[in-house]
Amino acid sequence: MLGFTLAGALVGGTVTYGVAATTAPSTSASILDGVPTVDRDAIGRVSDEMEEDGPRSVTFGPLRMGTPYKLYARSAGVQDESLAAFLLWSIPGRLERFLPLMLLALLGGIVLRRWIAARPRAALSAYAALWLVFYAIYVIRIGI
């Protein structure tokens, strides 16, 4: 499952890179500025990081809550960074976020196996509630 998640992120990063590489920087910035929790300050900060540190800057995002991967993909495309280098650095950059979440879900599934099996609807509701709370905190912290 982790492999599919990572592959999906890399495909999304490739598409965003491609759009950014083939449109005016102001156009790709305007597209992303319309995404909830993304603003011009974040776009500028990530552009500066990409300019200073190149594709490895994609590993910085997961260390700060609120820096979407798509901003790094856009900056790499705008700055004509190597797509291959960007995607290679994206693997550890994405795994920094995906791997701990997967391990936490795996551990929770093991510990709560009997409870989940006995109450699948309650388990699904609890899972959905956890994600809703997570994203509510994210949106409150980052803003729309």
Q: Could you tell me the CA-to-CA distances from 110 to 30, 38, 43, 56 in Å, in that order?
A: 44, 36, 40, 35
pLDDT of residue 141: 77
pLDDT of residue 144: 64
DSSP result, 91-127: HHHHHHHHHHHHHHHHHHHHHTHHHHHH-HHHHHHHH
Each domain of the chain, given as residue ranges in start order, spans 2-103, 112-144
Question: Are 83 and 14 contacting, i.e. CB atoms less than 8 angstroms apart?
Answer: yes
Other C-beta atoms closer than 10 Å to the C-beta of 33 total 13
pLDDT of residue 134: 84
pTM of the predicted protein model:
0.84
Q: Could you tell me the CA-to-CA distances from 42 to 8, 65, 103, 113, 140 in Å, in that order?
A: 23, 12, 29, 40, 16
Counting Cα atoms < 13 Å in the Cβ hemisphere of 119 gives 7
Print pLDDT tens along the chain (144 aa): 889 999 999 999 999 999 999 999 999 999 999 888 888 998 999 999 999 999 999 998 877 766 889 999 999 999 999 999 999 999 999 998 889 889 998 999 999 999 999 999 999 999 999 889 988 887 787 766
pLDDT tens digits, 56-76: 999 988 777 668 899 999 999
Q: At what angle do helices 69-78 and 83-111 cross, to 10 degrees?
A: 170
Question: Are 118 and 14 contacting, i.e. CB atoms less than 8 angstroms apart?
Answer: no
Residue showing tokens 């950059």: 93
